[in-house]
């Protein structure tokens, strides 16, 4: 958990000025920021408005996925629409039923948008939550009174205010007499019904506009504070994704794999790393930004065996599987023996799209280096990566 929190800290510190948290904390809106490059797309920032709305503390929210705030009545179709928007790296605005910490459900406008880096990569997803409030609606047999208030004829021969809470209409049936207060619309205390949870609650145009305005304002804050670090972000993809940039869908799928591994792209000069798992970052001590775009040889050092390096190159050249034991170095330059399994990964058309390297730290340095066989967990990691890559390439070809 500590290593996960470290990645979450880096998610903000690398991209924005250190002052960005103070600026975001001053905003009144309910919103969260998640990082799809970290396993589980966890929340890396939650506003004070979000914590107040949902009833959680900051420590209870940071590091969790947004699924934690869904419940038994949350519409599965809406959840799938959100997932599809993440896969396609696009914005979405939808009415969604969520749950507070105490278990009470409420309807809200959920407005989510990707945050792009200069190279076209999605680095965050920003989500704004605006509660859908109880409001008025004209019902059958009702007319409009003064100040635009909806009135309903009752059995006593006069008209009374009619209120609507999401999908349920309520008419007052009291026998109180008409009077000046009523004609001037002095609203009594009413016992509002709970929303119909099984029936979607539509947001008003005002609530939708409020969500859009809040999201745009937060994006402008992120953009301003990214300029101070020289790592600019935007709410729109300003340029096509650079070669080797993985989509959010594939990144999220790879993030579910817990073992230490990297994905490299053989179609880019110098075959750089295009994905590094959280476990790999913990093993080597590097941050994700320090790893992506580099060739794996940065892990080598003075005592790394050159013959083993040549063996790896030949296996890659011939698109063959290989397993070696190689001396590598962490960021702090401490050496460790890496039991390394490398395998080509083919896309849906059968062509080699990537190479995956799965690492296991090996403490038994007296073991023979030749004739090694991959560990069962390494086989499982390679299989999981292949499924993710093929699924992603099939989705891309069909869209």
Taking only the tens of pLDDT, the chain with its 399 residues reads 555 667 777 777 777 888 899 999 999 999 999 998 888 899 999 999 999 999 999 999 999 999 999 999 999 999 999 998 998 889 999 999 999 999 999 999 999 999 998 878 898 999 999 999 865 444 444 454 444 444 444 444 444 444 444 543 333 333 333 433 333 333 333 343 444 555 667 899 999 999 999 999 999 999 998 888 888 888 887 766 666 678 888 888 898 899 999 999 999 889 999 999 999 999 999 988 889 889 999 999 999 999 999 999 999 999 999 999 999 999 999 999 999 999 999 988 889 999 999 999 987 644 444 456 778 889 999 999 999 998 776 665 554
What sign does the CA torsion over 155, 159, 161, 164 have? positive
So what's the pLDDT on residue 198? 55
Q: Does domain 248-398 have CATH number 3.30.450.20?
A: yes
**Contact assessment for residue 223 and residue 233, using Cβ atoms and an 8 Å cutoff:** yes
User: What contacts 300, CB < 8 A, 6 or more positions away?
Assistant: 309, 326, 328, 329
Cα separation, 197 vs 54, in Å, equals 18
The model's pTM is 0.65
CATH 3.30.450.20 in the chain: give the residue spans: 2-131+201-234, 248-398
CATH 3.30.450.20 holds for 2-131+201-234: yes
Among left, alpha and beta (phi > 0; psi -120 to 50; other), residue 316 is alpha
In tens, the pLDDT along 292-345 reads 889 999 999 999 999 999 999 999 999 999 999 999 999 999 999 999 999 999
The residue ranges of DSSP E strands in the chain, in sequence order, are 31-34, 43-46, 92-99, 105-117, 122-131, 142-144, 150-153, 159-165, 168-171, 233-234, 261-264, 273-276, 322-329, 335-346, 352-361
* pLDDT the model gives residue 239: 62
pLDDT digits (tens, 9 = 90+) for 231-283: 888 888 776 666 667 888 888 889 889 999 999 999 988 999 999 999 999 99
| Phi/psi of residue 35, nearest 5 degrees | -120, 105
Q: How does DSSP classify residue 130? A: E
HSE-CB for 161 with a 13 A CA cutoff? 19
């Amino acid at each position: 958990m500590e290593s996960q929190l470290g990645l979450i800290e880096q998610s903000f510190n690398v991209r924005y000025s250190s002052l960005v948290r103070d600026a975001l904390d001053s905003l009144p809106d309910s919103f969260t920021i998640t990082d799809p490059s970290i396993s589980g797309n966890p929340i890396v920032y939650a506003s004070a408005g979000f914590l107040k709305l949902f009833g959680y503390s900051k420590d209870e929210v940071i590091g969790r996925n947004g699924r934690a705030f869904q419940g038994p009545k949350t519409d599965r179709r809406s959840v799938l629409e959100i997932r599809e928007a993440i896969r396609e790296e696009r914005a979405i605005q939808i009415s969604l039923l969520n749950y507070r910490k105490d278990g009470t459900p409420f309807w809200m406008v959920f407005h989510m948008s990707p945050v792009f880096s200069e190279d076209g990569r999605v680095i965050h997803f920003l989500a704004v939550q605006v509660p859908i409030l109880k409001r008025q609606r004209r019902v059958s047999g009702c007319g409009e009174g003064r100040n635009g208030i909806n009135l309903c004829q009752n059995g006593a021969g006069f008209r009374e205010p009619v209120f609507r809470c999401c999908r349920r209409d309520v008419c007052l049936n009291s026998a109180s007499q008409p009077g000046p207060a009523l004609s001037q619309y002095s609203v009594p205390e009413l016992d509002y019904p709970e929303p119909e949870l099984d029936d979607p609650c539509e947001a008003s145009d005002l609530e939708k506009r409020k969500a859009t305005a809040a999201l745009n304002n937060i994006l402008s804050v992120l953009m301003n504070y990214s300029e101070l670090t020289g790592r600019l972000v935007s709410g729109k993809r300003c340029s096509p994704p650079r070669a080797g940039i993985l989509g959010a869908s594939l990144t999220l799928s790879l993030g579910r794999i817990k073992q230490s591994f990297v994905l490299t792209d053989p179609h880019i000069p110098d075959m750089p790393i295009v994905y590094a798992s959280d476990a790999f970052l913990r093993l080597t001590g590097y941050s994700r930004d320090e790893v992506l775009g580099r060739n794996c040889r940065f892990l080598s050092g003075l005592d790394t065996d050159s013959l083993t390096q040549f063996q790896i190159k030949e296996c890659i050249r011939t698109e063959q599987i290989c397993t070696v034991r190689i001396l590598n170095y962490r960021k702090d330059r401490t050496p460790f023996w890496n039991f390394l399994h490398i395998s080509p990964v083919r896309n849906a058309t059968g062509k080699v799209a990537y190479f995956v390297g799965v690492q296991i730290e090996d403490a038994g340095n007296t073991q023979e280096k030749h004739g090694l066989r991959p560990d069962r967990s390494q086989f499982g990691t390679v299989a999981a990566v292949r499924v993710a890559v093929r699924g992603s390439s099939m989705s891309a070809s069909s869209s």
